[in-house]
Amino acid sequence: METPIKGKARGALVGADLGALCYLTSVGIPADPVVLALWAILIPPFAAGGAIHGIVAAQPEAKVYTAQASLKAATKDTDVAWSFATGC
């Protein structure tokens, strides 16, 4: 299960990482020096684009913590494993 990204800073970090990774996996590592230089020049814009997307897409920390707390409270009341173990 994928956890939500909490906060704008974490969103920017994850987005920059994914932006650079997507560029690297789509282009690969070139052997030609000219293409390698172009490749090195284009990585930062892709990382910046990913960071911007991460900032916009990240959920506020308070919203994530509230959702996790309500989910924990809801699943605590419906503990299926405990019901089977006690025979209730």
Rounding to the nearest 10 degrees, give the CA dihedral for residues 17, 18, 23, 26.
140
Q: Which two tokens stand for residue 4?
A: 């939500």
Residue 1 above 50 pLDDT? no
Within-domain flag for 2: no
Residue 35 above 60 pLDDT? yes
Task: Kindly write down the DSSP assignment for every residue of 22-57, as one continuous string.
Answer: HHHHHH---SSHHHHHHHHHHHHHHHHHHHHHHHHH
Within-domain flag for 53: yes
Q: Which two tokens stand for residue 10?
A: 């974490």
Distance CA(57)–CA(60), nearest Å, equals 10
Given this model, what pLDDT does residue 57 score? 81
Q: What average pLDDT does this structure show over 34-46?
A: 84
Reported confidence tier of residue 11, pLDDT bands at 50, 70, 90? confident
Whole domain around residue 31: which residue ranges?
8-86
Q: Which residue has the higher pLDDT, 28 or 58?
A: 58
pTM: 0.57
Within-domain flag for 38: yes
Distance CA(31)–CA(15), nearest Å, equals 27
Domains of the chain: total = 1
Residue 42 above 70 pLDDT? yes
Within-domain flag for 63: yes
Within-domain flag for 1: no
Within-domain flag for 79: yes
Distance CA(64)–CA(44), nearest Å, equals 29
